[in-house]
Structure 1
Amino acid sequence: MAHHLLIKAASFQPAPKIEGAILLHPWFGGNTLMEGEPEAIAKDMMAKIWEFACPSAVGGADDPRMNPLAAGAPGLDNLHCERILVCTGEKDWARPRNRAYYAAVTASAWRGSAAWYESEGEEHVFFFLERPECATAKQLMDRVVKFVSGS
């Protein structure tokens, strides 16, 4: 959702000023399995979840709202913010797509700055209900706070 908002914001007149965006364990989709993605999640669950979440999606999980790297998706140079922080877990099933997104953003003509943060040994959204008080959740929060403060 954050990525889609950053793309949409550029079309508003006047365009809002967005200093930064944090993609905290994003979940991007795709119809084609990426290297490193667990097949069960990427193929079966991805199709079912996106069909439920967005039944009007053109191309299923390759709809640009779900897969910013899909053919026909708006160019990443259209991101409307100055900075992005992409966070994931080392063992996050979504890590391959999150890493590919970060790599594509940094390789694009976008003029902002991008940062990557990976929580060692952690799964997808580990900080939410499972272990919000653990040391790695606190480290992640410290990184988010540092980003918000401009570092």
Structure 2
Amino acid sequence: MRASSADNAPRIEGAVLLHPFFGGIMAIEGEPECAVVITAKVWAFACPDAAGGADDPRINPTAPGAAAGLESLGCERLLVCAAAKDWLVARDRAYYDAAAASAWPGSAAWLESEGLGHVFFLMKPECENAKRLMERIVAFIAGS
């Protein structure tokens, strides 16, 4: 978002969001209430100057009024990766859906790893799902 708002910003071909940690003040459909509480605490510590609390556009890019940031993403392609058993998957999917539906002229792709939780690839980098995830990221970087 910052690259898109800067004059003479560098051209960013693509962005990979690998199990992003978005939050928000209110739970969204499919999101457990505990996710709202946990992300609010983490973001209050990590970003204490957030103007809208957990609905600051840096924390919740789908919050009311944040759409302008999505429409001016500073990249041409976007890959959002999540895990089906991650308590953040609903929020990650909402971000992907909002970016894909926005006036942003780029292309967005979604990858959901079945049967696994948040950042599973860090604990089990040798598992088949981690290998498939890495293959998809490599393909994205290669332009396919």
Q: TM-score, normalised by structure 1?
A: 0.90
Q: Which residue of 45, 48, 52 corresponds with 2:45?
A: 52
**More deviation in 71-80 or 107-116?**
71-80
The answer to whether the 8 A contact 2:80-2:111 is kept is yes
Equivalence for 1:79 = 73
Q: TM-score, normalised by structure 2?
A: 0.95
Residue 121 of structure 1 aligns to a residue in which SS? coil
Unaligned runs of at least 5 residues, structure 1 = 1-6
Moved over 3 A (4+): none
Tell me whether 1:94 sits opposite 2:50 in the alignment: no
Give the Cα separation in 2 of the matches to 1:104 and 1:74: 8
Give the Cα separation in 2 of the matches to 1:50 and 1:81: 25
Identity %: 60
- Letter matched to residue 25 of structure 2: N
Equivalence for 1:110 = 104
1:83-102 deviation per Cα after TM superposition (whole angstroms, max 9, x unaligned): 00000001111110111111
Unaligned runs of at least 5 residues, structure 2 = none
Tell me whether 1:119 sits opposite 2:113 in the alignment: yes
1:113-138 deviation per Cα after TM superposition (whole angstroms, max 9, x unaligned): 0000011111010001x211111000
The answer to whether the 8 A contact 2:67-2:102 is kept is no
Give the Cα separation in 2 of the matches to 1:101 and 1:46: 15
Shift of 1:72: 2.6
Equivalence for 2:21 = 27
Question: 1:36-47 counterparts in 2 under 5 A?
Answer: 36-42=30-36, 44-47=37-40
- Letter matched to residue 64 of structure 2: A
Shift of 1:74: 5.1
Tell me whether 1:9 sits opposite 2:15 in the alignment: no
Give the Cα separation in 1 of the matches to 2:28 and 2:54: 13
Q: Which residue of 124, 128, 138 corresponds with 1:135?
A: 128
- Letter matched to residue 124 of structure 1: H
Give the Cα separation in 1 of the matches to 2:35 and 2:4: 32
Equivalence for 1:4 = none
Give the Cα separation in 1 of the matches to 2:29 and 2:4: 32
